[in-house]
Amino acid sequence: PPAALMDFPAARRARSRESDPRSASDLNVALDECMTAVDLFLSNKFPEALASLQAKTKDSMYHALTYATILEMQAMMTFDAQDMLNAGNTMKEAQATCQKFRKKSTVADSFNNLVHRQNLEHFTEEEIHAEICYAECLLQRAALTFLQDENMVSFIKGGIKVRNSYQTYRELDSFIQSPNYAKGKNYLHFEGGVKLGVGAFNLTLSMFPTRILRLLEFVGFSGSKEYGLLQLQEGALMYSFRSVLCTMLLLCYHTFMTFVLGTGKGNVEEAERLLKPYLARYPKGAIFLFFAGRIETIKGNIDTVSNPFPLGKESSRTTLPY
């Protein structure tokens, strides 16, 4: 299969051969179990996916993040106020779980990003993954705020939290390009997380009106659409736990955001290319059928839309009311 599509069972077999039980076994097991849960989720087995994760959400950063992410995806598709509230609260709890695994820093470190960046080379693999998971929790909480208020300005309502997430992604992006970066056993999953965050921030910020973007640049934010798309494209092609999220963000951009915000034309051909391997692997997957229907709508093929959507409704009858 193409690199963009994570083969979860194959990944587990490969990882079992490569694991270092002395230093990365807990992280390996967590990623394996979470990849299984994601596979269930993409196969419309939402209750089973959540049930497989719930017991470890207080003790594993990846279980906590994956559990909250699944709830957030459900909330984004139902747009139900209670679903969004539950997802936001769960993501906040996931953030607290991730905090337990972050490297303990001094007061000086917390106020000095340069010191923090220089110390990244001394982080353990678990600590560096905790940084990316923590930043991802903040990013997803910001996305929920944006959806709840239906206003792009609300994206920055998180204030210092959003800025912390943005700064963390920037530091980690610089770190993986530095000569001090030593790849751990799970480096692809870590680097995929960096590309997801850096890409999401750059792409989203680039879509703000010029007047607001200038204000954001004044307080340290900046966004390049080209760089954001590149990061997400690279993340989607990586053999990474987060490749599907990179793909979904790109699909959202090409099929929704460019049309709703009037920032340019969506690339329907690129969206079809991204979607094809996932439709092949998950032919009844509600999320992928949803995007397939959206693409056909954009192309004006209304008759074709009537084919995937009934199947999408059937596939998600108990979880995602369209």
Number of H helices, E strands in the chain: 18, 0
Nearest Cα to 176, choosing from 238, 221, 222, 218?
Answer: 238
Q: Give one DSSP letter per residue of 129-144, joined into a string.
A: HHHHHHHHHHHHHHHH
Contact 272, 251 (CB under 8 A): no
Separation CA 237–CA 114 (nearest Å): 31
If you search the block for the tokens 């207080």, which residue do you land on? 58
Q: Give one DSSP letter per residue of 227-282, joined into a string.
A: HHHHHHHHHHHSS-TTHHHHHHHHHHIIIIIHHHTTSS---HHHHHHHHHHHHHH-
Write the pLDDT tens digit of every residue in 141-173.
888 877 776 555 655 565 666 788 999 999 999
| CA-angle at 191, arms to 188 and 197, nearest 5° | 140
Token pair of 65 as six digits: 């993040």
Q: What is the pTM of this model?
A: 0.84
Q: How far is CA 263 from CA 50, 142, 294, in A?
A: 36, 21, 18
Residue 189 has pLDDT above 50, yes or no: yes
Residue 119 has pLDDT above 60, yes or no: yes
Separation CA 80–CA 212 (nearest Å): 29
Q: Which amino acid is at 260?
A: V
Separation CA 39–CA 70 (nearest Å): 11
| CA-angle at 173, arms to 168 and 176, nearest 5° | 120
Q: How far is CA 25 from CA 29, 127, 202, 284, 301, in A?
A: 6, 14, 34, 34, 49
Separation CA 318–CA 316 (nearest Å): 6
Separation CA 312–CA 286 (nearest Å): 5
Write the pLDDT tens digit of every residue in 32-77.
999 999 999 999 999 999 999 999 999 999 999 999 999 999 998 8
Q: What is the pLDDT of residue 43?
A: 96
Q: What is the mean pLDDT of residues 117-126?
A: 80
Q: Which range has the top average pLDDT, 1-15, 62-76, 141-155, 262-276? A: 62-76
| Listed range (76-85, 87-96, 188-197, 207-216) with the worst mean pLDDT | 207-216
Radius of gyration of the chain (CA): 19
Q: What is the pLDDT of residue 305?
A: 63
Separation CA 175–CA 188 (nearest Å): 14
DSSP three-state, residue 61: helix
